[in-house]
Amino acid sequence: MKLRQRRGPRVPAQPARCAADREQWSAEVLRADDALDRVADDWDDLHRRCATATAFQAAPWLRSWWRGYGRPGALVLVLVRRDGRLVGAAALRRRGPFGGLTNLGAGLVDFTDVLLDDDCADRAAAELAAALPLHRPWHSLELREVHPSAAVQRVYAHWRGRRHRYADSLCQYLPAVPMEELLKRLPGKTAQRSRVKLRRIAQSGVVVHSATAEEVSYTVGELLRLHMLQWQDRGVTPEHRTARFAAHLTESTTGLVATGRAVIHRFELDGEVVAVNLVILCAPFGGLYMYGAHPRLREKLDIAGLLFGAALDAVRAAGIPQLSLLRGQEPYKQRWRPDQLPNQRLVLGPGRLAPAAAARALRVRARIAVVHLLRTRMPKLKEALAQRRLR
């Protein structure tokens, strides 16, 4: 006789928990002056996992800038971790006593961004947005020089408070292709003249040396010396004359060169250093950050062709798709017919009632309007003055 087994009550099947449900997410805000030093290893590990990161978000650059330019008590680091691993990070500083925040670097950086792990960028961006210390009506965050494809654009998209976006400095880019292909962008006669200048460079005997990390200190010293010489009759940027800028540039460049995120070229002719060029390297592009050239060299060779050629070689060797000319529209850049793309300025505030963010946005809008007015009216004003003198 077959016995029937007695069954218990049916229990509905439980869905398996997905990996995302088991993850532990956490966020913290660090305000100690040595916070960047304490998280430097985790920071640079995340930097390597963020495809949009530039050299200006690397720990060597940020730590060096903070030591030279930071104000005690003003550092604000926002960190997001997944299962203990750093996956989101923002380095900010207090701009004043009322909770205004902005990026590190001030006018010395061409690109501002946060760091997000490529494997979980969207969730990390949402967590970072939620962790930003912007809670009071008088709080605001203003980020300058943001690339349109920067990681912080994801944070901006997740921000639920007041937000504003404006155009900022114009940056220019060239494809990282062989020089001969780059010359095809130029009109026929200009391209031909450029070929003649490049042949003259090749025959000049100039030797290009990529400085090692141990040679950076000396090479940066030569860069600043030549930079002062080349601009002495046209007015050098005052900050470039200071000891703190020299210390910052030396320390940051040493760290970047040691980790393959920058190259500094020394151009020598007959045993004398006649030019130095600092190129930053990151996944999206390489950038011509700063150079110095002896005025005598300008009489012999095409400086732009010399620097562009070496920078292009370095960028292509690193497998980077673009050479950025960074900010500015100097004539030597325009000759190469670069593609233009403006950076952006982002302003965030808490909730719909964010008077500080609204006031900041209003000031930005007014400043942009004044600059536009000056740019459009100044040529006409100069022309009117010139005609008046002729009378």
Question: How distant, in Å, are the alpha carbons of 218, 299, 380 from that of 228?
Answer: 16, 17, 33
For residue 81, name the pLDDT band (cuts at 50, 70, 90): very high
Residue 140 has pLDDT above 60, yes or no: yes
What percentage of the chain carries pLDDT values higher than 70? 84
Residue 370 is predicted with a pLDDT of 56
Residue 4 has pLDDT above 50, yes or no: no
Domains defined along the chain, listed by start: 20-168 (3.40.630.30), 177-320 (3.40.630.30)
Q: What is the pLDDT of residues 188-218, one digit of tens each?
A: 898 999 999 999 999 999 999 999 999 999 9
CA distance 343 to 64: 24
Q: Is 187 left (phi over 0), alpha (psi -120 to 50) or beta?
A: beta
Mean pLDDT of the chain: 87
CA distance 175 to 314: 13
* Overall average pLDDT of the 99-126 stretch: 95
Residue 372 is predicted with a pLDDT of 43
For residue 138, name the pLDDT band (cuts at 50, 70, 90): confident
Q: Report which of residues 153 and 304 the model is more confident about.
A: 153
Residue 374 has pLDDT above 60, yes or no: no
* Overall average pLDDT of the 161-188 stretch: 93
Residue 352 is predicted with a pLDDT of 63
For residue 359, name the pLDDT band (cuts at 50, 70, 90): low
Contact between residue 37 and residue 233 where contact means Cβ atoms under 8 Å apart? no
For residue 379, name the pLDDT band (cuts at 50, 70, 90): low
Burial 266-293 (b: 16+ CB within 10 A, else e): bbebeeebbbbbbbbbbebbbbbbbbbb
Q: What is the pLDDT of residues 305-358, one digit of tens each?
A: 999 999 999 999 999 999 999 998 888 888 889 999 999 999 999 976 555 555
**How many residues are listed for the chain in this entry?**
391
Residue 381 is predicted with a pLDDT of 55
Residue 235 is predicted with a pLDDT of 73
